[in-house]
Amino acid sequence: MLLGHGTGKLLQETAPGVYNFDPKNPPISPVTNKPITTYYKPGQTWGSVFGSIASSYEECRAETVAMALSCDFEILKIFGFGDGTADMDGEAGDVLYAAYLSMARAGIASLELWDPKSRKWGQAHSQARFSILKCFLQSPDQFCKLDYKNDDLSDLTIKIDRNKITTAGRKAVESYLQKLHIYKSTANVETGTKFYNEMTEVEPVFWGEKIRNEVLRNKQPRKVFVQANTVLDETTGKVSLVEYDPSLEGMIKSYAERGI
């Protein structure tokens, strides 16, 4: 079953002359519809073969699994949303729409972690989410698009047609996921690396300059979460809640008064 990080079978020669598949009758790749020709040799691992892109690639594979499975209303029912019926106008439909819209927004926001000087990504999740946004935008049915009128993109808006998520959206995501998964499972590092680099490539003017500038301009201060403490008055048995200012001083005071 394909579920999240580290899942799926890697086709391997586990020891010299020993395979976990039939090399004389190799599996057919659903991407090429031809027998697979690559696999992991003895001693090779996913990380050693795919090297520097392995971490981000795996994050992307895991998140596209989530995007694909969230289109299944029976799965949404497990988490208490809807009754399992496919209904984009109901509560489960709202959750699915929010999931796709949030991922598209994350793809935009991820550009903060792209360095225009080195033209490299500084964070695996950000690189992955940018590629998923590009996957959305490349759907021939245009269920996701970027809308703007100003040349500097200061009015940039993400628009997703919620009624196309379970059709065009799911199709685009599953096609992307299938390629990622098959290239990984078959150790097809040449095709897989080329494909992933293309999907995470940042066009320098539109994405790297205009949109990234807007992302940085709208950047919010990092959130500060300060934990409250409970204090027991032993004379009365009463428990009171002590809260602190959302600041570095408040965070230190909260920790200090916990008596740790």
Give 45's contacts (C-beta < 8 A, 6+ positions apart).
none
Mean local confidence (pLDDT), 205-226: 91
Let me know the angle formed at the C-alpha of 176 by 182 and 3, rounded to the nearest 5 degrees: 65
- Provide the pLDDT for residue 6: 81
Closest CA to 68 of 124, 11, 2, 21: 2
Closest CA to 129 of 185, 50, 199: 199
Taken as a whole, the chain contains a residue count of 260
pLDDT in tens, 64-75: 999 999 999 999
Question: Strands 114-115, 229-233: parallel, antiparallel or unpaired by DSSP?
Answer: unpaired
Q: pLDDT grade, residue 2 (50/70/90)?
A: low
The proportion of the chain whose per-residue pLDDT surpasses 70, expressed as a percent, equals 98
Give the CA count within 13 Å in the CB-facing half-sphere of 113: 17
